[in-house]
Amino acid sequence: MGAMQWTHHHATINGIRMHFVEQGEGLPVVLCHGFPHLWFSWHRQITALAEAGYRVIAPDMRGMGQSEAPAAVEAYDIDSITGDLLGLLDHLQLERAVFAGLDFGAFAIYDLALREPDRVIAVIGLENPAAPHNPDEPPLSEYRRQARDHFLHIEYFREPPRADQELAAQPREFLHKVFHTLSGACNFFEMFRHPPGTSYIDAMEEPPPLPWPWLSELELEFFVSEYSRTGFTGGLNWYRSFDIKWRQRKPFEGVCSKVPAYFIGSEHDVDLEGFHGDDPIGQMRAIFPDLQRVEMIPGAGHMVQLEASAEVNALLLAYLEDIGRREAQRLTGS
């Protein structure tokens, strides 16, 4: 079973060539990754969910992996990303699906649920409870102001081509370091000790050699191989389009979605700790008042699908059982 059952697909969807992996039959579940991730970030979830009776679909999000990476920053706006997910459903002849996402993948599924709720059975957010949406200041301006006194990765990414060139020149070192930095074994905010202008690679501490309890050398090599081939510009454009997305979210300030929502966080997640304010779950509940369950995994960081795979799988299966029950009730009118 396992990887032997994965089916890889390439299709033109929403005007770009997209790659996605599929396994299983049943209630459809779309798993959306962030940066610097790939569909492979979910590889320990795909088979576990498929064997439990779900049709699992894990795309490479636009700009990353084997999906096409348009050059223009404007191609990473909400309309394009939402169009990818709707196009994926249409390509698979699915009216609705459950969407789970982490990092940029979480923002993508929340935007989808606000704009096209009839296509979303439920959302499951991991780590990121809401997209950045300070209504008073565009995100890139806010982060630029925060970066006046210390290194901040978002400011480092903002202006090409420095980050594109430096990361592409050392993909293995960057990925080895950043996966450790984002994990529960490291304090991400130690990087703030470095001055503005520091490179991301230099700002991160030296990681221990592989294997780690949650990542093997072969698993890291999969990410290294893909990003060595593609470079990182597609993923960086998700950051560079922050202000475009901010403007597109303006009409949805204060709007609530009726889509049922679920959340998985972790004790040492950098985004929950430093990038979502004092009440991150409150932010999510304000958008999704039908927030059914919130669970926090002790010890893990932002790489939670890999750091705590068994715990994540158990929670996803529990959430999906509840979602399936609610969906069956909706279909039967009971």
Verify whether residue 302 is a known catalytic residue: yes
The DSSP output letter for 215 is: B
Q: How far is CA 107 from CA 142, 287, 328, in A?
A: 18, 12, 27
- Catalytic entry in 19, 43, 180, 302: 302
The reported pLDDT for the residue numbered 283 is 93
At residue 281, the 3 state secondary structure works out as helix
Task: Report the DSSP pairing between strands 261-266 and 27-32.
Answer: unpaired
Q: What's the maximum distance between 2 C-alpha atoms anywhere in the chain?
A: 60
Q: What pLDDT does 255 receive?
A: 95
pLDDT value of position 330: 85
Tokens of 175: 């990925």
pTM: 0.97
Concerning whether 103 is annotated as a catalytic residue, the answer is yes
The answer to whether the CB of 188 falls within 8 A of the CB of 182 is yes
| pLDDT for 1 | 45
Tell me, what's the pLDDT at 274? 87
CA-based radius of gyration for the chain? 19
CB 25 within 8 A of CB 94: no
Supply the pLDDT for residue 3: 61
| DSSP assigned state of 211 | P
Catalytic annotation, pick one of 33, 43, 60, 103: 103
Dihedrals phi, psi of 283, to nearest 5 degrees:
-60, -45
- The low-confidence residues of the chain, meaning pLDDT below 70, are 1-4, 334
